[in-house]
Amino acid sequence: MAGREGEGRRAEMADGADVTWAQELLDHLRPSGRDVRKVVAWLAGAAQADVALQDDAGNLLAGIRTPLDEALVADITTGRIASAALQDHDRHLRLVRVELPHPATAGVLAVARPAPFDRRTADIVTHTAGVLELLLRARETAAAGRRLRRATSDLRLAILQLLMVEDTVSARRVAAGLWPGLLDTDTACVYVAESRTEDRDRLAEECVSATSEQALVVRCPAVDAHVIVVTPGEGAAAELRELVGDRPGTFLGGSARQSLARTATAYGQAVSALAVAHFRPDRSAVYAERTHPERLMDPAALRDWAARVLRPLDALPHHTRAELLATTRLGLEFTAVNAAAVLGVSRNTVRARMERAEGLLGTDLSDLTVRATVHLALNTQAGHAQLPDGDGGADTRLADLLAGPALRTWAGELLCRLDTDTRNLRRTLRTWIAAGGNSERAAQLLGVHAQTVREHVRSAEPVLERQLLAGGSDLYEVVLAHLALGDLDQPDLQGANSGHPDAPVHG
């Protein structure tokens, strides 16, 4: 269009005050009006003509197809001539070359009308061709930008999924091409930011900007409102907290620092902290801010016990074992559907892997006390490098680990928060856990309506500062507290019980 600028000025001067068409044409360059089809339709009305925009292969891009001389069209698209004007029987034709952005070819703007072209109409056609070139180039640039952003987003997700299954070598190799040095670290923290679903794309872009592209920012494939941030550096936490503080309705949960191989564990911690963030004035929380039961157990005894619980999996090939452990950890934290989305596999694959783990361990994962116990063992072994060496005793049982005075004190202080509620939330919660998290079964045992059970459990969440109905590590901590106080029977880890139709992992 710039090349036609001088010609345009002369045309306007020749026509005197008639510049309305020019303003209308320029309006199509505004952000809200950039549409090739609308421009062609406008030209048809302004020139009182039939208009067609086609590429060098004859494909119609916009307008109404018009019969054209193929040899003349070829002369224009190949650059032999830039434009042509002719009379074909009872119609007058103007053909103008229009550069197409991708691939590097040209098209033809054809305008056919019954009346001859005066200076004004000819100028409109010439200027419109320039505007169409600009719009087509902008559209291709925008499309290329979208493809690049999508490819980058897919690559970030692929790296996260590799980290989730402990394949840190492949994750570093994939990341090195676009983000050199990003994963050249042994440890990292995981943060999960939550906003309204419609605001997530903008939140993700702001997370990239806030971390100066020194973090792995991923749109969560399982929860549409979540953005996952894996950050090796120490400075991202403050930046992300400031970002959340400036955005009402946005929340942030962070994990403790973990090895890259424990990204799945860190992700679960971040989601758990996110639940707490909903009850905090600053709308952010970090997992390490509260006491967790495993930290109150004898470390050496805990590690040896976990190794013994998971020993049936040791005979598997290393890759298969790591895949099974990672899938089971996520499957215990989330539904099969969400775990599958995070891992990039089908939900049937998640269920099959968990059923295999269940069979090898000789357990019934529909029992919440069993799930909490296996979850404790899995997370303990995943973090074994942080536990000291020592002989914890080959005969250590879960009951022994839970019998320590510090743990019992923690459990009592946690659950006694529920005692002030006259609805006896503590009894409802205990019954609901014993019923495998099944509200209908718990309601039958308590002689109340299932909705009442759900309301009681939901009411316990802000008091305990833990998500319960969603399952996962928050719920398992509460289960361990009940076990430590003897409010629930110890789980049976020898032999599988009958399947439970309402187990969350199969949901």
**Above 90 in pLDDT, residue 238?**
no
Query: How far, in Å, CA of 83 to CA of 77, rounded?
Result: 10
| 230, containing H or E segment | strand 226-231
How many Cβ atoms are within 10 Å of 167's Cβ, its own excluded? Answer: 20
pLDDT at 241: 87
Q: How far is CA 467 from CA 284, 334, 506, in A?
A: 15, 12, 19
Q: What is the DSSP letter of 39?
A: H
Query: How far, in Å, CA of 223 to CA of 437, rounded?
Result: 22
Specify the range with the lowest mean pLDDT, choosing from 50-64, 276-290, 442-456. 276-290
Structure tokens, 481: 């507290």
**Above 90 in pLDDT, residue 261?**
no
Rounded to the nearest integer, the mean pLDDT of the chain is: 84
- Model confidence at 32, pLDDT cuts 50, 70, 90, reads low
3-state per-residue secondary structure call for 134-203:
HHHHHHHHHHHHHHHHHHHHHHHHHHHHHHHCCCHHHHHHHHHCCCCCCCCCCEEEEEEEECCHHHHHHH
How confident is the model over 485-490, as a mean pLDDT?
93
How confident is the model over 90-100, as a mean pLDDT?
89
**Above 60 in pLDDT, residue 494?**
no
Q: What is the DSSP letter of 118?
A: -
120 vs 425 pLDDT, higher one? 425
394 vs 439 pLDDT, higher one? 439
| 273, containing H or E segment | helix 263-277
Query: How far, in Å, CA of 47 to CA of 45, rounded?
Result: 6
How many Cβ atoms are within 10 Å of 411's Cβ, its own excluded? Answer: 23
What torsion do the CA atoms of 23, 24, 29, 34 make, to the nearest 10 degrees?
170
116 in helix, strand or coil? Answer: coil
- Model confidence at 104, pLDDT cuts 50, 70, 90, reads low
pLDDT at 268: 85
Digit-coded pLDDT (tens) for 312-368:
998 899 888 888 988 998 899 888 888 888 888 899 999 999 999 999 998 889 899
Digit-coded pLDDT (tens) for 174-190:
888 778 888 888 899 99
Q: The pTM is what?
A: 0.62
φ/ψ of 72, rounded to 5, equals -65, -40
How confident is the model over 256-267, as a mean pLDDT?
88
